[in-house]
Homo-oligomer: A and B are copies of this chain.
Amino acid sequence: MSQVTVNESEVDIVIGALHSELTSFMNAWRPFFSRFHLIIVKDPDLKEDLQIPEGFMLDIYTKSDIERVVGSSTAALFSGYSCRYFGYLVSRKKYIVCVDDDCIPARDNMGNVVDAVDQHIFNLKTPATPFFFNTLYDPFCKGADFVRGYPFSLRSGVDCALSCGLWLNMADFDAPTQALKAGQRNTRYVDAVVTIPVRAMMPVSGINMAFDRELVGPALVPALRLAGEGKLRWETVEDIWSGMCVKVICDHLGLGVKSGLPYVYRTERGNAIESLKKEWQGVKLMEDVVPFFQSVRLPQAATTAEACVVEMAKTVKDQLGKVDPIFSRAAEAMEEWVKLWKSVGIVGPRI
Protein backbone atom coordinates (compact mmCIF):
# COMPACT_ATOMS: atom_id res chain seq x y z
CA MET A 1 0.00 0.00 0.00
CA SER A 2 1.34 3.48 0.79
CA GLN A 3 4.94 4.27 1.63
CA VAL A 4 5.81 6.68 4.45
CA THR A 5 8.13 9.63 4.75
CA VAL A 6 10.57 9.68 7.64
CA ASN A 7 11.00 13.08 9.23
CA GLU A 8 14.38 13.62 10.93
CA SER A 9 12.79 15.72 13.66
CA GLU A 10 10.70 12.76 14.82
CA VAL A 11 13.48 10.23 15.40
CA ASP A 12 16.22 9.67 17.96
CA ILE A 13 18.63 6.81 17.47
CA VAL A 14 19.71 5.54 20.88
CA ILE A 15 22.93 3.56 21.22
CA GLY A 16 24.06 1.96 24.45
CA ALA A 17 27.85 1.93 24.27
CA LEU A 18 29.22 -1.15 26.01
CA HIS A 19 32.53 -0.84 24.17
CA SER A 20 34.68 2.20 23.74
CA GLU A 21 35.61 1.59 20.12
CA LEU A 22 32.59 2.64 18.08
CA THR A 23 34.43 3.72 14.93
CA SER A 24 33.63 0.82 12.66
CA PHE A 25 30.10 0.52 14.03
CA MET A 26 29.34 4.18 13.36
CA ASN A 27 30.97 4.16 9.95
CA ALA A 28 28.98 1.11 8.93
CA TRP A 29 25.74 2.85 9.87
CA ARG A 30 26.74 6.28 8.53
CA PRO A 31 24.54 6.10 5.40
CA PHE A 32 21.44 5.54 7.54
CA PHE A 33 22.24 7.30 10.81
CA SER A 34 23.84 10.55 9.66
CA ARG A 35 20.59 12.42 8.98
CA PHE A 36 19.23 11.67 12.45
CA HIS A 37 20.05 12.84 15.94
CA LEU A 38 21.87 10.19 17.98
CA ILE A 39 21.84 9.67 21.72
CA ILE A 40 24.82 7.64 22.82
CA VAL A 41 24.75 6.46 26.41
CA LYS A 42 28.03 5.12 27.73
CA ASP A 43 27.76 2.14 30.03
CA PRO A 44 28.66 3.62 33.44
CA ASP A 45 30.95 0.64 34.07
CA LEU A 46 33.01 1.38 30.94
CA LYS A 47 36.22 3.20 31.83
CA GLU A 48 37.84 4.00 28.47
CA ASP A 49 36.89 7.05 26.42
CA LEU A 50 34.52 6.44 23.53
CA GLN A 51 35.99 6.45 20.04
CA ILE A 52 33.41 7.99 17.74
CA PRO A 53 34.11 9.22 14.20
CA GLU A 54 33.09 12.71 13.12
CA GLY A 55 30.11 13.67 11.03
CA PHE A 56 27.17 12.79 13.24
CA MET A 57 24.68 14.89 15.17
CA LEU A 58 24.89 13.41 18.62
CA ASP A 59 24.75 13.81 22.34
CA ILE A 60 26.80 11.56 24.57
CA TYR A 61 25.73 10.77 28.11
CA THR A 62 28.15 9.34 30.64
CA LYS A 63 27.99 8.13 34.23
CA SER A 64 28.21 11.67 35.59
CA ASP A 65 25.32 12.83 33.37
CA ILE A 66 23.22 9.90 34.52
CA GLU A 67 23.94 10.60 38.17
CA ARG A 68 23.21 14.28 37.78
CA VAL A 69 19.87 13.66 36.12
CA VAL A 70 18.49 10.75 38.13
CA GLY A 71 20.53 10.92 41.34
CA SER A 72 23.32 8.55 42.30
CA SER A 73 21.02 6.13 44.15
CA THR A 74 18.93 5.53 41.01
CA ALA A 75 21.84 5.48 38.57
CA ALA A 76 22.34 1.75 39.12
CA LEU A 77 19.27 1.13 36.95
CA PHE A 78 21.34 2.17 33.95
CA SER A 79 24.39 -0.06 34.03
CA GLY A 80 25.35 -2.53 31.31
CA TYR A 81 22.83 -3.09 28.56
CA SER A 82 20.34 -0.99 30.51
CA CYS A 83 22.31 2.20 29.90
CA ARG A 84 20.27 2.84 26.78
CA TYR A 85 17.12 3.30 28.83
CA PHE A 86 18.64 6.56 29.99
CA GLY A 87 18.53 7.61 26.36
CA TYR A 88 14.82 6.82 26.21
CA LEU A 89 14.34 9.03 29.24
CA VAL A 90 16.13 12.10 27.91
CA SER A 91 14.87 11.86 24.32
CA ARG A 92 12.15 14.27 23.26
CA LYS A 93 11.35 12.58 19.95
CA LYS A 94 8.31 10.60 18.93
CA TYR A 95 10.23 7.57 17.69
CA ILE A 96 13.25 5.78 19.16
CA VAL A 97 15.37 3.36 17.14
CA CYS A 98 17.93 1.18 18.97
CA VAL A 99 20.66 -1.05 17.64
CA ASP A 100 23.30 -2.89 19.67
CA ASP A 101 26.86 -1.77 19.09
CA ASP A 102 27.90 -5.20 17.76
CA CYS A 103 25.54 -4.99 14.78
CA ILE A 104 26.06 -3.57 11.32
CA PRO A 105 23.64 -3.18 8.40
CA ALA A 106 22.47 -6.45 6.86
CA ARG A 107 21.93 -7.27 3.20
CA ASP A 108 18.63 -8.53 1.83
CA ASN A 109 18.16 -11.46 -0.55
CA MET A 110 18.98 -9.22 -3.50
CA GLY A 111 22.26 -8.11 -1.93
CA ASN A 112 21.00 -4.62 -1.11
CA VAL A 113 22.10 -3.04 2.16
CA VAL A 114 19.10 -2.69 4.47
CA ASP A 115 18.13 0.71 5.87
CA ALA A 116 16.98 -0.47 9.28
CA VAL A 117 15.88 2.99 10.42
CA ASP A 118 13.61 3.45 7.45
CA GLN A 119 12.01 0.02 7.87
CA HIS A 120 11.44 0.51 11.61
CA ILE A 121 9.77 3.86 11.04
CA PHE A 122 7.70 2.35 8.24
CA ASN A 123 6.57 -0.37 10.65
CA LEU A 124 5.65 2.21 13.28
CA LYS A 125 3.90 4.64 10.94
CA THR A 126 1.71 2.05 9.22
CA PRO A 127 -1.12 0.37 11.13
CA ALA A 128 -0.81 -2.93 12.98
CA THR A 129 -3.49 -5.61 12.73
CA PRO A 130 -3.52 -7.51 16.05
CA PHE A 131 -7.14 -8.66 15.95
CA PHE A 132 -6.95 -11.02 12.97
CA PHE A 133 -3.91 -12.59 11.35
CA ASN A 134 -3.28 -11.72 7.71
CA THR A 135 -1.69 -14.76 6.09
CA LEU A 136 0.16 -12.64 3.51
CA TYR A 137 1.83 -10.82 6.42
CA ASP A 138 1.86 -7.02 6.67
CA PRO A 139 -0.96 -5.82 4.38
CA PHE A 140 0.59 -2.34 4.33
CA CYS A 141 3.80 -3.50 2.67
CA LYS A 142 4.10 -2.60 -0.99
CA GLY A 143 2.45 -5.24 -3.18
CA ALA A 144 0.53 -6.83 -0.29
CA ASP A 145 -3.05 -6.55 0.86
CA PHE A 146 -5.62 -8.21 3.08
CA VAL A 147 -6.55 -11.72 1.99
CA ARG A 148 -10.02 -13.09 1.33
CA GLY A 149 -11.98 -13.49 4.54
CA TYR A 150 -10.32 -10.59 6.36
CA PRO A 151 -13.15 -8.50 7.86
CA PHE A 152 -13.35 -5.04 6.32
CA SER A 153 -14.11 -3.54 9.72
CA LEU A 154 -10.65 -4.58 10.94
CA ARG A 155 -8.69 -3.41 7.90
CA SER A 156 -7.94 0.07 9.19
CA GLY A 157 -5.90 -1.54 11.96
CA VAL A 158 -4.51 0.22 15.03
CA ASP A 159 -1.47 2.33 15.82
CA CYS A 160 1.77 0.39 15.97
CA ALA A 161 3.82 1.11 19.10
CA LEU A 162 6.72 -1.35 18.86
CA SER A 163 8.76 -2.68 15.95
CA CYS A 164 11.02 -5.67 16.63
CA GLY A 165 13.75 -6.36 14.08
CA LEU A 166 15.76 -9.53 13.57
CA TRP A 167 19.36 -10.66 13.17
CA LEU A 168 21.41 -12.35 10.50
CA ASN A 169 24.61 -14.24 11.29
CA MET A 170 24.53 -14.47 15.12
CA ALA A 171 20.91 -14.87 16.13
CA ASP A 172 19.69 -13.84 19.55
CA PHE A 173 19.88 -17.20 21.28
CA ASP A 174 20.26 -17.83 24.96
CA ALA A 175 23.60 -19.06 26.27
CA PRO A 176 22.66 -22.78 26.36
CA THR A 177 21.51 -22.73 22.73
CA GLN A 178 24.51 -20.65 21.71
CA ALA A 179 26.89 -23.02 23.50
CA LEU A 180 25.21 -26.10 22.05
CA LYS A 181 25.14 -24.75 18.49
CA ALA A 182 28.30 -22.68 18.50
CA GLY A 183 28.66 -22.99 14.75
CA GLN A 184 25.08 -22.15 13.85
CA ARG A 185 24.51 -18.94 11.93
CA ASN A 186 21.22 -17.48 10.83
CA THR A 187 21.29 -17.06 7.07
CA ARG A 188 17.55 -17.06 6.42
CA TYR A 189 16.35 -13.64 5.39
CA VAL A 190 12.58 -13.71 5.81
CA ASP A 191 11.10 -10.85 3.82
CA ALA A 192 8.12 -10.19 6.08
CA VAL A 193 6.68 -8.15 8.90
CA VAL A 194 3.96 -9.66 11.07
CA THR A 195 1.71 -8.10 13.65
CA ILE A 196 1.87 -10.24 16.77
CA PRO A 197 -1.77 -11.06 17.55
CA VAL A 198 -3.45 -9.62 20.61
CA ARG A 199 -2.83 -11.73 23.76
CA ALA A 200 0.04 -13.59 22.13
CA MET A 201 3.35 -13.14 23.89
CA MET A 202 6.80 -13.11 22.32
CA PRO A 203 10.38 -12.47 23.42
CA VAL A 204 11.26 -8.91 22.43
CA SER A 205 14.96 -8.51 21.81
CA GLY A 206 16.63 -5.19 22.53
CA ILE A 207 19.29 -5.79 19.88
CA ASN A 208 17.38 -4.18 17.03
CA MET A 209 14.09 -2.49 17.80
CA ALA A 210 12.15 0.75 17.67
CA PHE A 211 9.15 2.17 19.44
CA ASP A 212 6.77 5.09 19.63
CA ARG A 213 8.01 6.92 22.71
CA GLU A 214 4.86 9.00 23.01
CA LEU A 215 2.65 5.93 23.11
CA VAL A 216 4.66 3.45 25.16
CA GLY A 217 7.92 5.10 26.24
CA PRO A 218 7.32 4.53 29.97
CA ALA A 219 6.65 0.83 29.35
CA LEU A 220 10.22 0.24 28.18
CA VAL A 221 11.52 -0.24 31.67
CA PRO A 222 14.91 -1.51 32.90
CA ALA A 223 13.52 -3.71 35.64
CA LEU A 224 14.68 -7.32 35.62
CA ARG A 225 18.37 -7.44 36.42
CA LEU A 226 20.00 -10.83 36.92
CA ALA A 227 22.27 -11.38 39.89
CA GLY A 228 25.35 -12.14 37.83
CA GLU A 229 24.40 -10.11 34.80
CA GLY A 230 27.33 -9.47 32.51
CA LYS A 231 28.08 -7.53 29.37
CA LEU A 232 26.79 -10.04 26.85
CA ARG A 233 23.25 -10.10 25.52
CA TRP A 234 22.70 -13.73 26.36
CA GLU A 235 23.45 -12.94 30.00
CA THR A 236 20.56 -10.49 30.21
CA VAL A 237 16.76 -10.62 30.15
CA GLU A 238 15.97 -6.96 30.80
CA ASP A 239 14.71 -6.51 27.24
CA ILE A 240 12.57 -9.66 27.38
CA TRP A 241 10.89 -8.39 30.52
CA SER A 242 10.27 -4.88 29.25
CA GLY A 243 9.12 -6.30 25.91
CA MET A 244 6.43 -8.32 27.63
CA CYS A 245 5.41 -5.25 29.64
CA VAL A 246 5.01 -3.35 26.39
CA LYS A 247 3.05 -6.17 24.74
CA VAL A 248 0.60 -6.47 27.62
CA ILE A 249 0.17 -2.70 27.69
CA CYS A 250 -0.32 -2.53 23.92
CA ASP A 251 -2.97 -5.24 24.16
CA HIS A 252 -4.67 -3.30 26.93
CA LEU A 253 -4.53 0.07 25.16
CA GLY A 254 -5.44 -1.28 21.73
CA LEU A 255 -2.02 -0.75 20.16
CA GLY A 256 0.01 -3.07 17.95
CA VAL A 257 3.42 -4.77 18.01
CA LYS A 258 5.20 -5.90 14.85
CA SER A 259 8.09 -8.31 14.35
CA GLY A 260 10.21 -9.19 11.33
CA LEU A 261 12.04 -6.74 9.08
CA PRO A 262 14.46 -5.03 9.40
CA TYR A 263 17.38 -7.37 9.87
CA VAL A 264 20.79 -6.31 11.17
CA TYR A 265 23.98 -8.32 10.79
CA ARG A 266 25.21 -9.32 14.21
CA THR A 267 28.91 -9.95 14.67
CA GLU A 268 30.43 -12.36 17.11
CA ARG A 269 31.19 -11.42 20.65
CA GLY A 270 31.85 -13.40 23.81
CA ASN A 271 32.11 -17.04 24.77
CA ALA A 272 28.77 -18.72 25.30
CA ILE A 273 30.23 -21.61 27.25
CA GLU A 274 31.68 -19.19 29.80
CA SER A 275 28.29 -17.53 30.10
CA LEU A 276 26.52 -20.78 30.81
CA LYS A 277 27.58 -20.45 34.42
CA LYS A 278 25.42 -17.37 34.78
CA GLU A 279 22.65 -17.70 32.25
CA TRP A 280 20.59 -20.43 33.82
CA GLN A 281 19.03 -17.91 36.16
CA GLY A 282 17.54 -16.03 33.23
CA VAL A 283 16.38 -19.24 31.58
CA LYS A 284 14.83 -20.44 34.82
CA LEU A 285 13.03 -17.17 35.48
CA MET A 286 11.26 -17.32 32.11
CA GLU A 287 9.23 -20.27 33.38
CA ASP A 288 7.53 -17.87 35.80
CA VAL A 289 7.76 -14.68 33.77
CA VAL A 290 5.95 -15.94 30.68
CA PRO A 291 2.85 -17.40 32.40
CA PHE A 292 2.63 -14.22 34.45
CA PHE A 293 2.53 -11.92 31.44
CA GLN A 294 0.21 -14.30 29.60
CA SER A 295 -2.36 -14.03 32.35
CA VAL A 296 -1.96 -10.53 33.79
CA ARG A 297 -4.85 -8.16 33.09
CA LEU A 298 -4.83 -4.42 33.69
CA PRO A 299 -7.73 -2.42 35.15
CA GLN A 300 -9.85 -0.41 32.72
CA ALA A 301 -8.97 2.73 34.66
CA ALA A 302 -5.36 2.46 33.48
CA THR A 303 -5.46 4.42 30.22
CA THR A 304 -1.86 5.56 29.85
CA ALA A 305 1.39 3.63 29.62
CA GLU A 306 2.55 5.15 32.94
CA ALA A 307 -0.62 4.07 34.73
CA CYS A 308 -0.33 0.60 33.22
CA VAL A 309 3.26 0.20 34.42
CA VAL A 310 2.26 1.25 37.94
CA GLU A 311 -0.58 -1.29 37.94
CA MET A 312 1.66 -3.97 36.55
CA ALA A 313 4.31 -3.30 39.18
CA LYS A 314 1.69 -3.92 41.90
CA THR A 315 0.70 -7.23 40.33
CA VAL A 316 4.31 -8.26 39.86
CA LYS A 317 4.94 -7.63 43.54
CA ASP A 318 1.80 -9.53 44.61
CA GLN A 319 2.07 -12.52 42.31
CA LEU A 320 5.75 -12.95 41.44
CA GLY A 321 7.30 -11.36 44.52
CA LYS A 322 6.73 -14.52 46.54
CA VAL A 323 8.38 -16.67 43.85
CA ASP A 324 11.75 -14.92 43.88
CA PRO A 325 12.96 -11.66 45.46
CA ILE A 326 14.34 -10.65 42.07
CA PHE A 327 10.76 -9.93 41.02
CA SER A 328 10.10 -7.66 43.99
CA ARG A 329 13.16 -5.69 42.96
CA ALA A 330 11.83 -5.56 39.40
CA ALA A 331 8.52 -4.19 40.69
CA GLU A 332 10.36 -1.51 42.67
CA ALA A 333 12.40 -0.60 39.61
CA MET A 334 9.18 -0.22 37.62
CA GLU A 335 7.74 2.17 40.20
CA GLU A 336 10.98 4.11 40.33
CA TRP A 337 11.07 4.28 36.54
CA VAL A 338 7.57 5.76 36.28
CA LYS A 339 8.53 8.43 38.80
CA LEU A 340 11.63 9.19 36.75
CA TRP A 341 9.60 9.30 33.58
CA LYS A 342 7.20 11.80 35.10
CA SER A 343 9.98 14.05 36.39
CA VAL A 344 12.57 13.65 33.63
CA GLY A 345 10.99 11.78 30.72
CA ILE A 346 8.18 14.24 30.17
CA VAL A 347 9.26 17.63 31.44
CA GLY A 348 12.87 17.35 30.43
CA PRO A 349 16.16 16.41 32.07
CA ARG A 350 17.87 18.62 34.59
CA ILE A 351 21.16 18.75 32.71
Contact = CB atoms under 8 A, between A and B. Distances in A.
Contacts of A201: 132-133
B290 A135 contact: no
A166 B135 contact: yes
B240 A203 contact: no
A153 B283 CA distance: 10
B132 A148 contact: no
Contacts of A145: 171, 173, 177, 181, 184
B290 A205 contact: no
Given A135-B259, A136-B166, A171-B136, A149 B191 contact: no
B259 A203 contact: no
Contact of A149 (B148, B197, B259, B286): B286
A186 interface: yes
A234 B147 CA distance: 10
A48 to B, nearest CB: 28
B202 A132 contact: yes
A109 interface: yes
A121 to B, nearest CB: 19
Q: Is the interface of A mostly helix, strand, loop or mixed?
A: loop
A237 B135 contact: no
Nearest to A192: B190
Contacts of A227: none
A200 B198 contact: yes
Given A191-B189, A197-B200, A147 B135 contact: no
A143 interface: yes
Interface residues of A, number: 60
Contact of A286 (B141, B150, B237): B150
Nearest to A244: B149
A166 B132 CA distance: 17
Interface in A166-200: 166, 171-174, 177, 181, 184-192, 194, 196-200
Nearest to A207: B148
A255 interface: no
A273 B280 CA distance: 60
Interface in A197-234: 197-205, 233-234
Contacts of A234: 148
14 contacts: A109-B109, A135-B203, A143-B185, A143-B187, A147-B205, A148-B205, A148-B237, A149-B203, A149-B240, A149-B243, A151-B290, A188-B192, A190-B191, A198-B200
